[in-house]
Amino acid sequence: MKISSFIFGNPLKTENLVLERLDKVKALAVFSSDILSSVAYATEAVFLSLGIVLSMSFPIPIALTISGLLFIIICSYWQTLRAYPNGGGAFAVAKNNLGEFCGLITAASLSVDYILTVAVSLSAGTFAIVSAFPSLSNHVVGICITVLSIIAIANLRGTRSAAGVLALPTYGFISMIFLMIVIGFFMPEGTPKFVISEEKQIPESVTILLVLRAFASGCAALTGIESIAGGVASFKKPQYKNARITLVCMGLILSSMFVGITYLAHKFCIVPNYSETVLSQIAKTVFGDNIFYYVVQFLTAGILFMAVNTSFAGFPRLAGVLAKEKYIPTRFAHLGDRLAYSNGIIALAIVAFLLIVFFKGQTQLLLPLYALGVFTSFTLSQAGMFRFLCKEKGPHWKIKAAISAFGSVATFVTLLIIVESKFLDGAWMVLILIPTLFFSFRKINRKYTETNKELDLKSGGVSELLIQKENFHPKVVVPVSRLHRGTLKALKFAQSLSDDVTAVVVNVDSAETERLKLVWRSMNFSVPLVILGSPYRSVVNPFLDFLFEQDERDPEKGKAIVVMSSFVPGAFWQNILHNQTARIFKNGMLYRKQESEQTRVIVEIPYQMKLGR
Amino acid sequence: MKISSFIFGNPLKTENLVLERLDKVKALAVFSSDILSSVAYATEAVFLSLGIVLSMSFPIPIALTISGLLFIIICSYWQTLRAYPNGGGAFAVAKNNLGEFCGLITAASLSVDYILTVAVSLSAGTFAIVSAFPSLSNHVVGICITVLSIIAIANLRGTRSAAGVLALPTYGFISMIFLMIVIGFFMPEGTPKFVISEEKQIPESVTILLVLRAFASGCAALTGIESIAGGVASFKKPQYKNARITLVCMGLILSSMFVGITYLAHKFCIVPNYSETVLSQIAKTVFGDNIFYYVVQFLTAGILFMAVNTSFAGFPRLAGVLAKEKYIPTRFAHLGDRLAYSNGIIALAIVAFLLIVFFKGQTQLLLPLYALGVFTSFTLSQAGMFRFLCKEKGPHWKIKAAISAFGSVATFVTLLIIVESKFLDGAWMVLILIPTLFFSFRKINRKYTETNKELDLKSGGVSELLIQKENFHPKVVVPVSRLHRGTLKALKFAQSLSDDVTAVVVNVDSAETERLKLVWRSMNFSVPLVILGSPYRSVVNPFLDFLFEQDERDPEKGKAIVVMSSFVPGAFWQNILHNQTARIFKNGMLYRKQESEQTRVIVEIPYQMKLGR
């Protein structure tokens, strides 16, 4: 207990749950780490997809196209921020306007996105560190997992007021990148490391394919923009206006950084490789191998790890919403000791851990999986806004709806490009995962609904549950295997319930049974002992057969009540020493398919051993 | 269920448990696979320990010394076979004559030995196959695990009458090895692959060390001899006499094969390497690369895999004996559906699997761990025989006791040599493992004894368990969170028990609690509903505090009885959807340290949902 409270902190009272209000400067730091951090890998992804030959001419147009797409999305979100000031984000927008189906698809995409943000950002942050210190390159997975654990524990502690801490690396990162772009702008061009001969010209059809593929890869830069929509509630008033200004600033900063970095990479003829990031190569070219370079690398790692933190805030909140609407187990809606959604945090950490171990911490392997989920949720949430605006018919609704519709179509086209060009690279996994999640959500929800219906008092049949006190002379069956203080307690309780008590032993070990018969006789019990044979050494089946026989005797007394002694060892590990016959009986009675056991009363009388190791 | 009965067979009745009686020919096949198979690796181990220079002169003397040791052990076991005709082996001998301490050390050593036999024999058998087919060398672990699974499943099926099947590879292996030795004897000598220069002479002290080390390695040849002592009961009558003859035959065959193979390896100047076994090299030299060679390799693999099977028969039987004497959890003594000790078989398979994966199927890495356990049990069982013979004082007891004493001392000295020369190679692991097992056995036994004492009716305090029917007006507390058919069933049962019923709700979600209050009022219950506050969102602690308050009210009514509704979903997976409040309450009541709950009655009323996915 002490270790746990040292690591996770002491429990907090419910009344401590207050929301910190953020001004625009702090809000930018909190919400932008996810999206800004993506410049650390987006340029690299574009260059990798283009290959050496095409990266001579195409990167900058691609970066500009992606920036254009960014502003279309921003215009659409501009409207969402006002329409949904309480947050809830894409899931709420899609579900309220497009129905459960689209809502759940959005929720599934967002979940995948949050999980992949954690994995991708951790890998990329670690790659930034390893680029600066190549000697660490054998410890990529170790570094990833250490950082993951620290962030998960910090979130389980429920650290609030972290905005101040977050501001430093975010603004530091923005400043250093802009400084780098400005200096780089005035530096001489690099010389290509490879000379392209005439024969190496690529046919036009392949070129189109590769450019589309590079565009799809670069769209990873746009992931994270949705996080601001989920957090409008935490802005200072006027909330949606402040959120809008922050959103536009974010967009401007992102697009200029992305285009700037791509420009420099092109200018310096940088070739991506698996031991150093593109950003690291640019920084080294601009600043040289000195303290400035290391500052850039550390800030890059810092902002990427903060993006991980953003997902650790976002995913448990989404899971909480889904759990409250009963699409996932309700325990995800419970606030833990420290007022954090602990179950969501732990689930996210475990899945991310498995992904990192499985992909051995290689960012580029995870990227194809990434943009797909994000663009699915973009498309659906903007389509939802379109429906919303058409229904509302507020001032200028036609223009607004047109913007959302255009945004939705643009992101949908991008989605198709991503699916088409990244399918074999791993996007198929996401295309399996999202429907799987969708059907699980539905299945769980249906099950909760069914259960509630079945348990509901209005569904009738209540009378069969009622036992009249004056008519309470039940048949009681007590299974025993040995006569000890535990079974005695059960027998005595059974006798106080009724005069019609039968003790039953299943004869598996005939020596034991003989001993029991002797003791029984010597104790002069008024309760008869019935011995059941068991040719196959099962204890459960002969007992159940006997029980059903008993049910049929004197039907006016109802079903036989079972009173069992269950043995509770003094420490948890000692459970392996005991056979838990009571649990086996209970499961046997409850899951034997022949009949419903809804009206059977099973009384378990635990006997607690002295506590001790 | 159908898949399970297809793989493991249909359940068998207890009366089918009959022992097959073996004649000497079959018995040799059944019991000798373990010991004879060790010639497949023992010579190799000697050569590896000696190194190239010393293997010019020492292997044959070492092999002869080990053969001498073998006959000392056989003389000692000769007596054991008569003294313990019911089997039980080393554990029974050591425990009965030297007390619990030595008995448990023996049991621990034997357990380690059985586990290592499985791992070493599997690896060595696979090595024999890979030597013949080098292209399989990347699949060593895969082959090991496949064979392990087949053997484990066969044993779970409880295949009896296997002696006929076993005879073929055993006698085939013996014939082929003798054929190889005879042909090899008449072949010309090989030429050394390395010429030793004068400077490479090794100093005398190092020579002694290496020779001792090689002796220790070669002792792996003797492992498995104890298996016959555990199986005297399965011989045809006169049992011990037949067993004795089989034992001596085994010894003669083993020693001639071991010396013969060592002689050939020396004669052909064979150098061990990691891609082909020594036995494979000899067979190739003698027979050439033809069908005879492949037959030798397959028979070698076959007899090694049969040695694995021997352990799968021996270990579960030992575990069964230990479980009956309550040194390990009693479930190891239960006969499964197919009359096999399933739990012991499964446990052995899991541990062997882990060892193989961890050591990547490399025999030589496991060998140092191996001989240590065997020689510990040799020493102790022979010391036990010495004590036994001294007590018995039968005819010629002095001579007999002297033989056992000499055997015990000889194996003890060998044990010291093994510890000394193999300590750093991994024997230290066994030296940690054996005491760990020993203390676990003791701890478990003590815990069972304590439990029995505490549960015993004679230990007094029985009267406090008794509830007189006429005085049975208990206080009943029913925790509820929502009013549904399950809680209603519990409430009604509570009302039929007593007039003093209180329903309790812990206010974690105030909206839920308000709803409950409304429903309660509308149902016109005679049971009062108490609402408990919970600042830290815990449901258990406020409830327990209330319960203890209730205990103190009207003490003549005894402790309050708790009646809980517990929710049983229609399929196992649905447990994740529900919070199992009943289980949390129960654990809270039972494990809260302040007080013993031995006299509390907890009634659990399960409510079974409709069965379904």
How close does chain B come to A106, measured CA to CA in Å? Answer: 22
**pLDDT value of residue A470:** 58
Instruction: Tell me the mean pLDDT in the region B483-490.
Output: 84
Touching A: B residues 215-244, CB under 8 Å: none
**pLDDT value of residue B512:** 85
pTM above 0.90, yes or no: no
Q: Which residue of B has its CA nearest to A613?
A: B447
- Per-residue pLDDT of A319-329, as tens digits, reads 988 998 899 99
pLDDT at A283 over 90: yes
pLDDT at B415 over 60: yes
Whether A472 and B590 lie within 8 Å, measured CB to CB? no
Q: Are strands B561-568 and A602-608 parallel, antiparallel or unpaired?
A: unpaired
Q: Residue A495: which of B457, B469, B603 has the nearest Cβ?
A: B469
pLDDT at B147 over 90: yes
pLDDT at A575 over 80: no
Whether B484 and A455 lie within 8 Å, measured CB to CB? yes
Q: Which residue of A has its CA nearest to B331?
A: A579
**Which class is domain B23-191+201-444?**
mainly alpha
For B68-113, the DSSP string reads HHHHHHHHHHHHHHHH-TT--HHHHHHHHHH-HHHHHHHHHHHHHH
- How far is Cα A513 from Cα A480, in angstroms, rounded to an integer? 10
- The answer to whether A569 contacts chain B (CB < 8 Å) is yes
**CB-based burial of residue A303 (10 Å sphere; 0-12 exposed, 13-18 middle, 19+ buried)?**
buried
Of B491, B495, B603, B479, nearest in space to B531 by CA: B479
Whether A457 and B574 lie within 8 Å, measured CB to CB? no
Touching A: B residues 579-608, CB under 8 Å: 579, 586, 590-591, 593, 596-608
Instruction: Name the amino acid, one letter, at B451.
Output: T
Of B409, B360, B357, B414, nearest in space to B382 by CA: B409
Check whether the bond before A238 is cis (ω within 30° of 0).
yes
Of B225, B285, B255, B258, nearest in space to B47 by CA: B258
How close does chain A come to B211, measured CA to CA in Å? Answer: 41
- The answer to whether A455 contacts chain B (CB < 8 Å) is yes
- The answer to whether B256 contacts chain A (CB < 8 Å) is no
Using alpha carbons, list the distances in angstroms from residue B571 to A590, A598, B72, B484: 10, 14, 62, 20
- Is the Cα dihedral A345, A349, A350, A352 positive or negative? positive
Q: Which residue of A has its CA nearest to B338?
A: A536
- How far is Cα B567 from Cα B490, in angstroms, rounded to an integer? 11
* Mean confidence (pLDDT) of chain A: 84
- Per-residue pLDDT of A224-257, as tens digits, reads 887 787 777 778 888 888 889 999 999 999 999 9
CATH code 1.20.1740.10 for A2-194+201-450: yes
Answer whether B254's CB lies under 8 Å from B303's CB.
Answer: no
Answer whether B562's CB lies under 8 Å from A582's CB.
Answer: no
- Per-residue pLDDT of A73-111, as tens digits, reads 898 888 888 888 776 678 888 888 889 999 999 999 989
Query: Which residues does chain B have within 8 Å of residue A593's beta carbon, measured at their own beta carbons?
Result: 611
Instruction: Name the amino acid, one letter, at B21.
Output: R
Is residue A159 very low, low, confident or very high in pLDDT (cuts 50, 70, 90)?
A: low
Answer whether B528's CB lies under 8 Å from B502's CB.
Answer: yes
Q: Residue B598: which of A335, A579, A607 has the nearest Cβ?
A: A607
- Per-residue pLDDT of B263-277, as tens digits, reads 999 998 888 887 888
User: Which one of B496, B516, B562, B596 would you mutate to disrupt binding with A, by most A Cβ within 10 Å of its Cβ?
Assistant: B496
How close does chain A come to B319, measured CA to CA in Å? Answer: 14
**pLDDT value of residue B11:** 76
Is residue A198 very low, low, confident or very high in pLDDT (cuts 50, 70, 90)?
A: low
**pLDDT value of residue B17:** 65
Instruction: Tell me the mean pLDDT in the region A378-394.
Output: 89
The structure tokens 């670690």 sit at: A126
Whether A496 and B609 lie within 8 Å, measured CB to CB? no
CATH topology of domain B470-608: Rossmann fold (3.40.50)
**CB-based burial of residue A136 (10 Å sphere; 0-12 exposed, 13-18 middle, 19+ buried)?**
middle
Q: Residue A610: which of B454, B579, B609 has the nearest Cβ?
A: B454
Query: Which residues does chain A have within 8 Å of residue B604's beta carbon, measured at their own beta carbons?
Result: 602-604
- The answer to whether A16 contacts chain B (CB < 8 Å) is no
Whether B536 and A337 lie within 8 Å, measured CB to CB? yes
pLDDT at B90 over 90: no
How close does chain B come to A76, measured CA to CA in Å? Answer: 36
- How far is Cα B35 from Cα B227, in angstroms, rounded to an integer? 9
**pLDDT value of residue B445:** 92
- Per-residue pLDDT of A497-545, as tens digits, reads 888 899 999 988 888 889 889 888 887 778 899 999 888 888 888 898 8
pLDDT at A385 over 80: yes
**pLDDT value of residue A224:** 81
- How far is Cα B505 from Cα A455, in angstroms, rounded to an integer? 18
Q: Which residue of B has its CA nearest to A331?
A: B579
**pLDDT value of residue A362:** 79
pLDDT at A357 over 60: yes
Whether A537 and B14 lie within 8 Å, measured CB to CB? yes
- How far is Cα B116 from Cα B133, in angstroms, rounded to an integer? 25
pLDDT at B577 over 80: no
Which of A356-365, B293-302, B305-314 is predicted most confidently? B293-302
Give CA A489 to chain center in angstroms. 47
- How far is Cα B219 from Cα B415, in angstroms, rounded to an integer? 10
**pLDDT value of residue B198:** 55
Lowest mean pLDDT among A67-71, A528-532, B15-19: B15-19
Token output for B554 = 């009207």
Domain range annotation of chain B: 23-191+201-444, 470-608
Whether A492 and B466 lie within 8 Å, measured CB to CB? yes
Q: Which residue of B has its CA nearest to A445?
A: B577
Instruction: Tell me the mean pLDDT in the region B251-255.
Output: 94
Give CA B191 to chain center in angstroms. 46
Token output for A607 = 């006997």
Q: CB neighbours (10 Å) of residue A538? A: 16
- The answer to whether B609 contacts chain A (CB < 8 Å) is yes
Whether B485 and A468 lie within 8 Å, measured CB to CB? no
Whether B492 and A535 lie within 8 Å, measured CB to CB? no
How close does chain B come to A306, measured CA to CA in Å? Answer: 30
**pLDDT value of residue A538:** 82
Instruction: Tell me the mean pLDDT in the region A146-164.
Output: 78
Instruction: Tell me the mean pLDDT in the region B283-305.
Output: 92
Query: Which residues does chain A have within 8 Å of residue B598's beta carbon, measured at their own beta carbons?
Result: 485, 607-608
Q: Which CATH number fits domain A468-608: 2.60.40, 3.40.50, 1.10.1420, 3.30.519?
A: 3.40.50
**Phi, psi dihedrals of residue A575, rounded to the nearest 5°:** -60, -30
Answer whether A562's CB lies under 8 Å from A479's CB.
Answer: yes
- Per-residue pLDDT of B183-215, as tens digits, reads 999 988 877 766 666 556 677 777 888 888 888
**pLDDT value of residue A19:** 60
Query: Which residues does chain B have within 8 Å of residue A442's beta carbon, measured at their own beta carbons?
Result: none
Is residue A144 very low, low, confident or very high in pLDDT (cuts 50, 70, 90)?
A: very high
Whether B606 and A591 lie within 8 Å, measured CB to CB? no
Please report how many Cα atoms fall inside a 13 Å half-sphere around the Cα of residue A608, on the Cβ side. Answer: 19
Of A429, A342, A307, nearest in space to A29 by CA: A307
pLDDT at B562 over 80: yes
Whether B485 and A465 lie within 8 Å, measured CB to CB? yes
Touching B: A residues 330-349, CB under 8 Å: 330-331, 334-335, 337
For A433-481, the DSSP string reads HHHHHHHHHHHHHHHHHHHHHHH-GGGS--GGG---STT---EEEEE-S
Lowest mean pLDDT among A448-462, B121-135, B225-239: A448-462
Residue with more model confidence, A230 or A330? A330
For residue B13, the 8-state DSSP code is -
**pLDDT value of residue B348:** 95
Query: Which residues does chain A have within 8 Å of residue B484's beta carbon, measured at their own beta carbons?
Result: 452, 455-457
- Cβ contacts of B195 within 8 Å, gap of 6 or more: none
**pLDDT value of residue A333:** 84
- Per-residue pLDDT of B433-484, as tens digits, reads 999 999 999 999 988 888 888 777 776 655 555 555 556 778 999 999 888 8
How close does chain B come to A247, measured CA to CA in Å? Answer: 36
Please report how many Cα atoms fall inside a 13 Å half-sphere around the Cα of residue A320, on the Cβ side. Answer: 17
- Per-residue pLDDT of B104-128, as tens digits, reads 999 999 899 889 889 989 999 999 9
- Per-residue pLDDT of B334-348, as tens digits, reads 877 777 788 999 999
Answer whether B527's CB lies under 8 Å from B478's CB.
Answer: yes
**pLDDT value of residue A194:** 65
- Is the Cα dihedral B530, B533, B539, B545 positive or negative? negative
Q: Which residue of B has its CA nearest to A569?
A: B451
Instruction: Tell me the mean pLDDT in the region B345-353.
Output: 94
**CB-based burial of residue A43 (10 Å sphere; 0-12 exposed, 13-18 middle, 19+ buried)?**
buried
**Phi, psi dihedrals of residue A196, rounded to the nearest 5°:** -95, 120
Of A415, A444, A441, A442, nearest in space to A427 by CA: A415
**pLDDT value of residue A451:** 82
- Cβ contacts of B277 within 8 Å, gap of 6 or more: B40, B41, B44, B124, B127, B128, B131, B300
Answer whether B466's CB lies under 8 Å from B459's CB.
Answer: no
